[in-house]
Amino acid sequence: MIFGIGIDTVDLNRIATLLQKNDRFLNRILTAAETSAYRQLKQTRAIEFVAGRFAAKEAFSKAYGTGIGPECSFQDIEILNTMNGKPIVTHPFELKAFVSITHTDTVAMAQVILEERD
């Protein structure tokens, strides 16, 4: 049974500007494993990666029903990729999580569907 659906978009230029300032934003948004994956990427792809994770985590928190805050922080949600590149939520709380992330030249968008476990 579906527990919740969330969607979010983010402007890539906004993320690029935040990343240029210092590592504070990056450390707030990405887990250690996500940061490791980020550090392997070239400039444009790295911005898309962070923007996609930001949008996906926002979408997750909307589907979860709390928004980002004490009950559901950016660090509580981890999104990595399978060997084939499919994004997966590795910290889905007590729910099954399905995530899709996409990009254009200017925007990253993510959708999350949360499902109750059997």
Task: Express each pLDDT in 46-70 by its tens digit.
Answer: 999 999 999 999 999 999 999 999 9
Percent pLDDT > 90 in the chain is: 90
Q: Which of 21, 86, 91, 103 is catalytic?
A: 103
Number of independent structural domains in the chain: 1
Residue 3 burial (10 A CB sphere; 0-12, 13-18, 19+)? middle
The Cβ-side half-sphere exposure at 80, using a 13 Å CA radius, reads 12
Domain of 19, in residue numbers: 2-116
57 flagged as catalytic: no
Q: Which secondary structure element, helix H or strand E, spans residue 33, and what is its range? A: helix 32-39
pTM here is 0.94
CATH number at residue 79: 3.90.470.20
Q: Which of 21, 42, 57, 62 is catalytic?
A: 62
Task: Express each pLDDT in 6-44 by its tens digit.
Answer: 999 999 999 999 999 988 999 999 999 999 999 999 988
Confidence of residue 94 (pLDDT cuts 50, 70, 90): confident
